[in-house]
Structure 1
Amino acid sequence: MSQAAYVAPAAVSVGEDPLEADYTLGVADKVRVIVFDEPSLSGEFVVNANGSLSMPLIGDVRAIGNTAGDIAQTIQAKLRQGYVLEPRVSIDILTFRPFYILGEVNKPGEYPYSSGLTVDGAVATAQGYTYRAEKKSIYIKRAGEARAVKMKLTPDLKIRPGDTIRVGERYL
């Protein structure tokens, strides 16, 4: 089931989550690339540790930090250079990179991200708070940022792919 889709040069077709419209890919994101009328060039690809998608014929395409639209345009441009006359490329984001949760939860660890995930949902995925957990604030380190930021815990506080959530210990 796809989370977001891009058909170049049209706009990104996404769900209700505004994150998906300008979502930039990172290591471990999985995408489906479809080159219309060229099944041998289509397939499912994972952004590798170098931040690229390894495509048939054209080699590595830089993916990290780019949107699905940017990548589709890059693939089209490379295919146009002697491989396909008028390439049309569609990109679906199949899975996002995981999020991490640690601290005062029952099962800290790495979990798959799903669209629209909130901190409450992430805590539920980690089987809830421990009895010592601070339930009024939380620390979130966004992917690509240097340090965690303390945030007030609200029911609609969303997390993003690659985030690290730390549930602190309450003080009596």
Structure 2
Amino acid sequence: MRFLFGLMAALMLAATAQAQSYSLEVGDVLAIEVLEDASLNRNALVLPDGNITFPFAGSIRAAGRSVQQVQQSLVQALAPNFATAPTVFVSINQLSNPPTSGSGITVYVIGEVNDPGEKELSRGTTFLQGLASVGGFTNFAATKRIQLRRTDPSTGQEAVYTFNLRAAGDGAKISGNATLLDGDVILVPERRLFE
């Protein structure tokens, strides 16, 4: 019996050591919890530029760093917003997916959604169908100005299309319910005060 407990303890220590030495990559999804303010708890995607965004902290470098380093950066960035330094927990919720050679497309969903990250979708998926794959919006979502960002591979130019999902919910027709393409980014920004 002692042998089993010893073996389990050794395995747990090895897993913890491996997690501490893991360098975060683009596409990883982090679960972030702030004990002092549960409304800030969310998942954060490591964006293509290697950063995560978090309310009251802004943009934090994540790619190439450990979970502990990101956690320390978040504590430092959030500290001015609290009377004492906040208690922040960061863990890996989902590892980035290796590229697949299927017939689907990869779309990135970032911002104020419940399930941000890399989404593998079928070809022909529309913008609204893509939004349906994110598990809903957070309380901070600005649904009047959701963006579809698309980069033209031949020129490198990025086009930004803005959609008012709230108007669509009230019965308005969404003009240009675009068909998503491989590499599209859907950004649900944080709403402003009184928005």
Structure 1-normalised TM-score?
A: 0.47
Higher-helix-fraction structure = 2
Structure 2-normalised TM-score?
A: 0.42
* More RCO (CA 8 Å, sep 6+): 1
